[in-house]
Amino acid sequence: MKRLEWDNLHVLLAVVRSGNLKRAAQRLRLSTATLSRRLDALEEQLGGQLLERSSTGCLPTAFGQRIAGLAEQMEGAANEILREADSPENVEGTVRVNADEWLSFLVIALLAPIRPRHPLLDMEVLTTPHPVNLARREADLSLRYAEPETRDLVAEPLGEIEFALYGASHYLDRHRPALAARDWANLDFVGLEESRLDQDLETWWQGLDGAPPPWLRCNQTLGIYDGVIAGAGLGIVEKRTAKLTPTLELVMDMPGLTREVWLCTHRSLRESARIKAVRDFLVQAWPH
């Protein structure tokens, strides 16, 4: 009887969900070559083609869809086993927290005091532009900008974060006259690249009279932060993050650029000791 390798089925699920070998490899922290070898091994073992590969991505064959569906059932059963094994008495193990770039920065800045309280606890912070799937155990906790509508998740508000326009001191020193006159046309700006322009945080500069589009664009919000620190121009930075950075100066508040933050977990993990310990810590430590 053939012995299936669960890791290879996990690879198949990642590819089916992402539709792309490269993205699946990044999510699994594998090289694309290793991921391809595992898929080939799985197809050889099962005796059928699982994926249609092209230059634009991957689509499951009919056979691949059936296998992926069964693999999802296996994944669900494995997650149930982990939930049952999660002791309600001992705070130990790994807790994975998911957030976007700004919120990850803040979470990491807060975490140090949890170590002496729970020395058997390990933390992972997973930074993604969009929330991961908590039902699939892609993370244990997730910080989000909206209260989830699904009843499978439990959420509590942490408060709001605010964004404002900042610049590095050495950049501002060279442009004081233009800043004093609000002569935005003669200043430089840093923003996000086009794939992220669907967010209202990335169109703020259009409200500044005469401001040119950002000359430097990044695909991550912390790239803006790095660019502003380096003196590449002005950019939107989360205010608590800016306060942790002595070289940044506030240029202008941006009323309306606020986000309400929700801390979410799957309902089945609500009573887990390790999850509850981290959740309670973040609620208490979150600056208000």
Q: Compute the distance between CA of residue 174 and CA of residue 172 in angstroms, rounded to an integer.
A: 5
Determine the pLDDT at residue 89: 56
pLDDT at 140 over 70: yes
- Cβ neighbours of 72 (radius 10 Å): 15
What 3-state class would DSSP assign to 239?
Answer: helix
For 146-181, the three-class secondary structure string (H helix, E strand, C coil) is CCCCCCCEEEEEEEEEEEEEEEEHHHHHCCHHHHHC
Q: Compute the distance between CA of residue 47 and CA of residue 40 in angstroms, rounded to an integer.
A: 10
Q: What is the overall mean pLDDT for the chain? A: 87
Cβ 42 vs Cβ 50: under 8 Å? yes
Q: Compute the distance between CA of residue 161 and CA of residue 243 in angstroms, rounded to an integer.
A: 13
Cβ 210 vs Cβ 189: under 8 Å? no
List domains and CATH numbers for the chain.
6-85 (1.10.10.10), 91-288 (3.40.190.290)
Q: Give the CA diameter of the chain.
A: 78
Q: Which pLDDT band, with edges at 50, 70 and 90, does 2 fall under?
A: low
The β-bridge partners of 51 are 60
Determine the pLDDT at residue 90: 65
Q: Compute the distance between CA of residue 192 and CA of residue 199 in angstroms, rounded to an integer.
A: 10
Determine the pLDDT at residue 198: 47
Q: Which pLDDT band, with edges at 50, 70 and 90, does 177 fall under?
A: very high
Amino acid at 168: A
The β-bridge partners of 163 are 238
pLDDT at 217 over 70: yes
Determine the pLDDT at residue 88: 47
Q: Compute the distance between CA of residue 24 and CA of residue 31 in angstroms, rounded to an integer.
A: 10
Q: Compute the distance between CA of residue 89 and CA of residue 141 in angstroms, rounded to an integer.
A: 19
pLDDT at 196 over 80: no
The β-bridge partners of 189 are 234
Determine if the pTM surpasses 0.75. no
Buried b / exposed e along 213-238 (16+ C-beta atoms within 10 A): ebebbbeebbbbbebbbebbbbbbbb
Of 154, 5, 6, nearest to 77 by C-alpha is 6
Q: Is 44 left (phi over 0), alpha (psi -120 to 50) or beta?
A: alpha
Q: Which pLDDT band, with edges at 50, 70 and 90, does 151 fall under?
A: confident
DSSP 134: T
Q: Which pLDDT band, with edges at 50, 70 and 90, does 199 fall under?
A: low
Q: Compute the distance between CA of residue 26 and CA of residue 276 in angstroms, rounded to an integer.
A: 29
